[in-house]
Structure 1
Amino acid sequence: MDRPPRRTRIPQAADAQPFSDRTTQDAVVVVPGIMGSTLKDGATGRHLWGLGGASWYVKAWTHPQGLRELHLTEDELEGKTGRIQATGLLASTAWTPYLRGHEPYTALLGRVRKCVAHEAAVLPFAYDWRLPVAVNARILADAARRHLSAWRNHEAHDRARRHRVDERPARLVFVAHSMGGLVTRAALAHGYDSDLAADTRGVITLGTPFSGAVAAAVILNTGRGTPVPLPRRKLRSLCATMPGLHDLLPQYRSVRENDGIRPLTPEEVATIGGSAELARAARDFHAGQRHVELPDHRSVVGINQPTWQSLTLRDGQVEAFPDGARQNSDGTFIRDRHDRLRYFAVQGDGTVYKESAEITAAATTLPLQHGSLAAEDTALDAVEEILARDTHLGPPQGQFGCGITAPDMAEAGRAWTLSLSGVDSLAGLTCRIQDVDDPTTGQELHPGWMDGGIGTRVTVDSPGLHRVEVRTRDGFRITQVVLVTDSGLRLEEAM
């Protein structure tokens, strides 16, 4: 008797494994913040930003010729771009004066890939952050459209659709950090791709300065009239003609004057070290963006960190303050019983104050610094929940964690102060500092009561990038990266 033919069992590919209930069929675009994309020279292929270790950043920021190639040329200011190309998202820790540390996007991409049906559903969108937000928005709109089309034609997309109850085709979800949120909002505005917003399921922003940040004005003003360390002067020189930085200037009423408060004008931007033309373009750009509503917008917002909110101008000098005016429901500003303007320390993530980043009611607030909002587990938990179509409103019972204040740079062998705010007990508080490139060199710190608050003196002997890490008894981890320079380096040396 003949036996029936044996059927050959074809093994399933890895991407054919069953999906979890939390797997989305959507296509995800990850958009980094300012200085969050690696850059190279388009002609020579030489890497210009974001691919070096700690020693690279020490040299780049303390050598007079470091980062010179990132300065915009006349052709670039006239719109002729392409000299510098974006090659990817930061994969290692970077550092910038005032903006402190930029943590890599590796963990964020890993969490996003955990939520999708196939890695082909994820687009890490790198861009030249020196250029205007509007320019990068056009590029993002085109890239997102191509990404969605390609994903809908992918074999895993059809399986993911059948896995979902509604079986709908994929739509886009944008996960954007810092400036990336501004680029995303502009890409979804009518004019580039009129259907892109309709094809977007949601937008998740992490610390996006929708109303700008006072830190941008401080950066432009650095080094005008007073001696400052070379890294800060180098940053001001780089940003003085950088459209991307001007797009981050505060658009809300931030200038204290007499007993009132008003917006920063383009003419004043020129007096503090920036470009009136670029500031005017940024103002007009933001005015055109205010009507844009992001589809199903969820925001992750840093809190509890001392953050500049307002400023004064005196003889071309900027003085920044960690508090600002707030408005009543009718639009008038809150005043005291003597009719004097009141100022409130709303705080934020150390760079962007809370009310600039929190423009939607669906917000998750976390005690994190700006550079780590796209890297810490607590923030990534929120991103994962939102991608899985759940609303993540953060930890229960209010705000926890603490704020940290540390210098953005220090000299090897010289003590400096780390201060903690928002904590009233040493119980359960741990603190350490470690070399970013070699975590085994961690040094335990022992905060105590000093000057009416909690803090400690810190001395680091070796140059490089060092990460301060504070853990509070409620389980939060707050970090900041400090650039430690060689003790023999003259930071005040002229460029």
Structure 2
Amino acid sequence: MSRARVIDLVVVLPGIMGSRLANADGKPVWDLSGGALGRGLRTFGGSVKNLRLPNDIGDDHPGDGVVPVGLMPDVHALPGIWQPIDGYTDLLGRLERSFSLTLGENLVPFPYDWRLSCRYNAERLRKTVARSLGRWQDSAPERRDARVVFVCHSMGGLIARHYVELLGGHEITRRVITMGTPHRGSLDALVHLVNGLRKGWGPLGVDLSAFARSLPSLHQLAPDYACVTGPGGLAHARDLPGLPGVDPTLLADAAAFHADLRGAGAERPTTVPLHAITGISQPTLTTAELSGDTLTPLWLIDGNDERGDGTVPRLSARPTNTDNTDYAVPESHTPCEQHGSLQNNKGVRDALSGLLGHERPFRRGEDDDVPLSVLAPSLPAPGDPYEVAVTIPAEIPDHDSLHLTAELRPTDGTEPIPRTLRPLGEGRYTTTFPAPDPGAYRLSVRVTARPETTVTALTVVGEAGE
């Protein structure tokens, strides 16, 4: 298959936890993925206190010698910080196979220390882009006019936007493509900060909760919309004094970070195109109710179930304009997929092909599509059965009589476990797998013989006692 020609420099930014970290001696401090993930979290939990950041870190580096060394290759997760995310090896490989892109030349992965402020990492991105683009433009006469295309998953989109919109990157950027970026934040981040690590993962949660609450990045992922219910209706987290578990200084700074992004570029005559790929139809926590020191997450906002990609609400997956009254960009592509698997979804790959080829992006949404909403535990307690629930909208023909199958596949390469889902009526289906062994898994759910309907959910099971 011939590769489509791309003259630009393509920079790939992963999401939070998506970069491997090493210390000053080159020893890995965050490099757990795939089959080693479940058991390795215990060791990591014992040493994570060394990665905790000081209270006054701001937009600086703590000087602890930790450096990013590459992108995570496979499924990775840190309970109490973010949901499981798939790796980036497949995405980089497909970009190389599909386009005239070569790693280290015009395809540049940008790993970053995901503990730190998005502003800090945007400044690092500025230096990396200046060096890489200059080298690429000087490598051949026909590349003199090359610009930069950013392909960003999750938090990576916030870093790229800060560089493009506030650090002068708009002058050399062709376009920014975001996949599941929480442009307006994610309730998951706020729940992790307030509630800490949920029960079921044992004493590991104490250290990870303190670690999580020290991260400027996690505060910058908290919702930038009114999301906490109270006597007067929904309120912004930043307006709730004494919110437990949250660093008020970091939360206020996160609000300023998002306000700067909303206001950036308002005076410029032209803007850099931003293409927001938005996962839809997945049950997604959007608001919460504060009771004492605990946030109880809720699916609805103003009585509506708007859903999203299972982690980032649909209302948050594209930015709003300066006065926060409307969306600044349309949805470029809306795959029926979960957050941690967006970068490897087939429909998303097709959309990227169009965007990198400067053509209209491919869109799913044909009349015969079957959008599956999949609810499965991302971090089940060891020994718990693995229960899967799927819903299909009532407007889909035969929504109560479709044949659905699920496959739970360990990332260590052992045999997958297949299941057929049982219909419950009203578009609801279910199945239960035996309690999985410790490790990382990909759950694939589809309408049988319709691979294009596949939704992939990720899960990580720890060892008993973690």
Same fold (TM over 0.5): yes
Deviation string for 1:235-263 (max 9, x for gaps)? Answer: 42221111000000101111222352221
> Unaligned regions of 5+ residues in structure 2, if any?
266-270, 320-328, 394-398
Letter in 2 for 1:357: A
1:272 aligns with: 244
**Structure-1-length-normalised TM-score:** 0.82
**1:208 aligned onto 2:177:** no
Question: How far did residue 411 of structure 1 move?
Answer: 4.7
Map 1:450-465 to 2 at 5 A. 450=424, 453-465=428-440
1:150 aligns with: 135
Map 1:181-220 to 2 at 5 A. 181-190=157-166, 192=167, 194=168, 196-220=169-193
2:268 aligns with: none
Q: 2:258 aligns with which of 286, 309, 318?
A: 286
Deviation string for 1:44-103 (max 9, x for gaps)? Answer: 221011255433443325875153332224685683444210001111221233633211
Question: How far did residue 223 of structure 1 move?
Answer: 4.3
Map 1:344-383 to 2 at 5 A. 344-359=304-319, 360-383=329-352
Question: How far did residue 154 of structure 1 move?
Answer: 1.5
Q: 1:324 aligns with which of 284, 287, 301?
A: 301
Question: How far did residue 202 of structure 1 move?
Answer: 0.6
1:245 aligns with: 218
**What secondary structure is seen at the aligned counterpart in 1 of 2:432?**
strand
- Distance (whole Å) between structure 1 residues aligned to residue 2 and residue 420 of structure 2: 46
- Distance (whole Å) between structure 1 residues aligned to residue 288 and residue 382 of structure 2: 32
Q: Which has the larger radius of gyration?
A: 1
Say if 1:271 and 1:362 are closer, same or farther in 2 by CA, change over 3 A.
closer
Map 1:35-434 to 2 at 5 A. 35-42=17-24, 44-61=25-42, 65-73=46-54, 76=57, 79-82=60-63, 83-97=65-79, 99-113=82-96, 114-116=98-100, 118-119=102-103, 120-155=105-140, 158=141, 169-190=145-166, 192=167, 194=168, 196-223=169-196, 227=199, 229-230=201-202, 232-258=205-231, 260-265=233-238, 268=241, 270-292=242-264, 295-325=272-302, 343-359=303-319, 360-397=329-366, 400-411=370-381, 413-422=383-392, 424-434=399-409
- Distance (whole Å) between structure 2 residues aligned to residue 427 and residue 358 of structure 1: 33
Say if 1:80 and 1:93 are closer, same or farther in 2 by CA, change over 3 A.
closer
- Distance (whole Å) between structure 2 residues aligned to residue 451 and residue 408 of structure 1: 25
- Distance (whole Å) between structure 1 residues aligned to residue 256 and residue 47 of structure 2: 33
Question: How far did residue 405 of structure 1 move?
Answer: 1.0
Question: How far did residue 209 of structure 1 move?
Answer: 0.5
Letter in 1 for 2:279: G
Say if 1:479 and 1:116 are closer, same or farther in 2 by CA, change over 3 A.
same
| 8 Å Cα contact 1:60-1:67 kept in structure 2 | no
1:8 aligns with: none
Question: How far did residue 322 of structure 1 move?
Answer: 0.9
| 8 Å Cα contact 2:282-2:308 kept in structure 1 | yes
Say if 1:130 and 1:461 are closer, same or farther in 2 by CA, change over 3 A.
closer
- Distance (whole Å) between structure 2 residues aligned to residue 252 and residue 33 of structure 1: 21
| 8 Å Cα contact 1:111-1:384 kept in structure 2 | no
| 8 Å Cα contact 1:412-1:459 kept in structure 2 | no
Letter in 2 for 1:136: N
- What's the RMSD between the two structures over aligned residues? 2.6
Say if 1:227 and 1:366 are closer, same or farther in 2 by CA, change over 3 A.
closer
| 8 Å Cα contact 1:313-1:319 kept in structure 2 | yes
Shifted more, 401-410 versus 348-357: the winner is 401-410
| 8 Å Cα contact 2:347-2:364 kept in structure 1 | no
**What secondary structure is seen at the aligned counterpart in 2 of 1:58?**
helix
| 8 Å Cα contact 2:201-2:381 kept in structure 1 | no
**What secondary structure is seen at the aligned counterpart in 1 of 2:112?**
coil
Shifted more, 173-182 versus 213-222: the winner is 213-222
| 8 Å Cα contact 2:278-2:309 kept in structure 1 | yes
**What secondary structure is seen at the aligned counterpart in 1 of 2:311?**
coil
| 8 Å Cα contact 1:307-1:347 kept in structure 2 | yes
- Distance (whole Å) between structure 2 residues aligned to residue 317 and residue 411 of structure 1: 20
> Unaligned regions of 5+ residues in structure 1, if any?
1-17, 162-167, 326-342
**Structure-2-length-normalised TM-score:** 0.87
Say if 1:223 and 1:175 are closer, same or farther in 2 by CA, change over 3 A.
closer
Q: 2:458 aligns with which of 468, 481, 484?
A: 481
| 8 Å Cα contact 2:219-2:254 kept in structure 1 | yes
**What secondary structure is seen at the aligned counterpart in 2 of 1:197?**
helix
Letter in 1 for 2:68: A
Letter in 1 for 2:446: R
Letter in 1 for 2:462: T
Say if 1:74 and 1:220 are closer, same or farther in 2 by CA, change over 3 A.
closer
Question: How far did residue 291 of structure 1 move?
Answer: 2.1
2:12 aligns with: 30
Question: How far did residue 413 of structure 1 move?
Answer: 4.9
Deviation string for 1:385-409 (max 9, x for gaps)? Answer: 1100112152133664312111123
Letter in 2 for 1:468: L
Shifted more, 390-399 versus 69-78: the winner is 69-78
**What secondary structure is seen at the aligned counterpart in 2 of 1:441?**
coil
